[in-house]
Amino acid sequence: MDRSPNTRDSGPPDNCNPVPRSIFFRIFAFSYSGALRYHTVQPMHCIQRNQNLREDKDGVIATLVRFRKTKSEELRFVQGAAALSGAAVIGVFSWPSTERTIWVAKMLWNWSLFLSFFALISSAHQRLLRRLPENSSDELSDADLAICLCLFLQPPAPPGPGDRMFHRGISRKMVWFWQCPTMLMSYSWVLFLVGYAIHLLTPVFDASLAEFTTIVS
């Protein structure tokens, strides 16, 4: 597909094979791929397609309003789920049976607790959403909208021939930034459940250790 000379794309070069990166990304986001796509990637692509303030300022405002609403709902869910994950870990450590749990399960639960705390802390960037318009009827200057677009797109390039602006690509750093709370919350639950599964297998490990102790004695 031919690209316009006034297009500044965020994708890989034509001679770069994106398959390994795509596979790595799918593995990395396996536990929250649906939320990542719905709450972050798709809204940011919509903002990228509607970034021309000169031709469709109302369209730019509408996409920013949609992102603020979608992301606010996600962050509220993340805060509740992360708090529940942390409470679950604290509750697990109060069980008497955890004293005999294999150390791997305890390690995973500790990491789960840390990630749930980090998810709560990172969700504090919800304050940045206040810079975005709340309603489509809000009046924002071009300068304010340009600042809002910098929360999603690559830095602006100099004007092209004939005072034409380059089409800005999505910033991968901002994709990471916006999806970070969901990622941490998701991983905290994954580690908690894996640790719980190992905890259920503790009698298996205890039996082997008892047999080893009998042989040695």
pTM of the model: 0.77
What phi-psi label fits residue 163: left (phi over 0), alpha (psi between -120 and 50 degrees) or beta? left
* pLDDT reading at 179 higher than 80: yes
pLDDT at 40: 92
Task: Please indicate whether residue 2 or residue 19 has the higher confidence score (pLDDT).
Answer: 19
pLDDT at 20: 67
Q: Please give the share of the chain, as a percent, with pLDDT higher than 90.
A: 43
Report the pLDDT averaged over residues 83-98: 92
pLDDT at 166: 62
DSSP string, 125-146: GGGGGGGS-SSTT----HHHHH
Residues 209/122, Cβ–Cβ less than 8 Å: no
Closest Cα to residue 59, out of 69, 71, 49, 44? Answer: 49
Q: Which of 7-16, 37-46, 105-114 has the lowest mean pLDDT?
A: 7-16
pLDDT tens by residue, 60-77: 999 999 999 999 999 999
pLDDT tens by residue, 115-147: 999 999 988 777 888 889 998 888 888 888 988
Per domain, the residue ranges of the chain are 19-216
